[in-house]
Amino acid sequence: MNNIMNHVFCHTLTATSDAIPATDAVRRHLDAMRIRDGEQVRVFNGRGVVSVAMVERQGGSVVLRAMSHTVVPMPPPLRLAFGVLDHRDRLEFAIEKATELGVTHLFPLSSDHVQFRKWSDERAQAKMVAALTQSGQAWLPQIAQPSTVDALLNTLPSEDTIILGSDTGGAVHDVQSTSGTTVCVGPEGGFSQRELDLFTADRRTIQIAIGRSRLRAETAAVALLAAWVGVQPLR
């Protein structure tokens, strides 16, 4: 996509929209970006519809006048399953970067080594919208309710490839996935031995080395995702 044009998220956009009334959030975003009347923006709805629209200010209101529409097919599933982190800023960092890298589904995990803390769907959604607006991804990730590793493995499709970070794992470019992919990262203390045994007993799991250093959980999530996305054909 053309990176020169500014991006705007608008959940009311459809593939047949003509005049799209700007919400308060959209108006604030346009003002912050200093977008003038008559300039064009690229509008996303997070469900695959991308439109080029002209900004029209009418008195105190703002309308996005759609000029063209594109429907972007949903990419192959790329899921991130991650241990819920104690620190909100670090958790939200992982969510933002996962969205920018094109993750389609997020699975928060209440694992053996972390006491589950309050989860805010609203804050996670806001962070994803901000990341989508920044990156220009056409699809907003879907967030599942927090679950355990046991439940996750029972939920994932049988044809999925499960990527698990490991000091002794192989190289990411040696892995091929013809269907969906799930990248799994534990909490600060890592997965428990019981959880690791569940992964290794699952034939879908492939262990991947992501460096010699011991990484923070959110860094490991971004490193694994970036390594995986980097070896995939452009979508």
pTM of the predicted model as reported, rounded to 2 decimal places: 0.86
What average pLDDT does this structure show over 115-134?
Answer: 82
What average pLDDT does this structure show over 28-44?
Answer: 90
Segment among 12-16, 73-77, 130-134, 214-218 with least mean pLDDT = 214-218
> SS in 3 state form for the chain?
CCCCCEEEECCCCCCCCCEEECCHHHHHHHHHCCCCCCCEEEEECCECEEEEEEEEEECCEEEEEEEEEEECCCCCCEEEEEECCCCHHHHHHHHHHHHHCCCCEEEEECCCCCCCCCCCHHHHHHHHHHHHHHHCCCECCEECCCECHHHHHHHCCCCCEEEEEEEEEECHHHCCCCCCEEEEECCCCCCCHHHHHHHHHCCCEEEECCCCCCCCHHHHHHHHHHHHHHCCCCC
For residue range 77-94, list pLDDT tens digits in order. Answer: 999 999 877 777 888 899
Q: What's the pLDDT score for residue 83?
A: 84
Q: Which domains does the chain have, with CATH numbers?
A: 6-71 (2.40.240.20), 78-230 (3.40.1280.10)
What average pLDDT does this structure show over 2-22?
Answer: 84
For residue range 138-185, list pLDDT tens digits in order. Answer: 999 999 988 899 999 999 999 999 999 887 777 777 777 668 899 999
Q: What's the pLDDT score for residue 116?
A: 59
Q: What's the pLDDT score for residue 213?
A: 74
What average pLDDT does this structure show over 8-28?
Answer: 89
Percentage, residues of the chain above pLDDT 70: 91
For residue range 90-120, list pLDDT tens digits in order. Answer: 888 999 999 999 999 999 998 888 765 666 7
Mean pLDDT score of the chain, rounded to an integer?
Answer: 87
Percentage, residues of the chain above pLDDT 90: 46
The confidence band for 4, taking pLDDT boundaries of 50, 70 and 90, is low
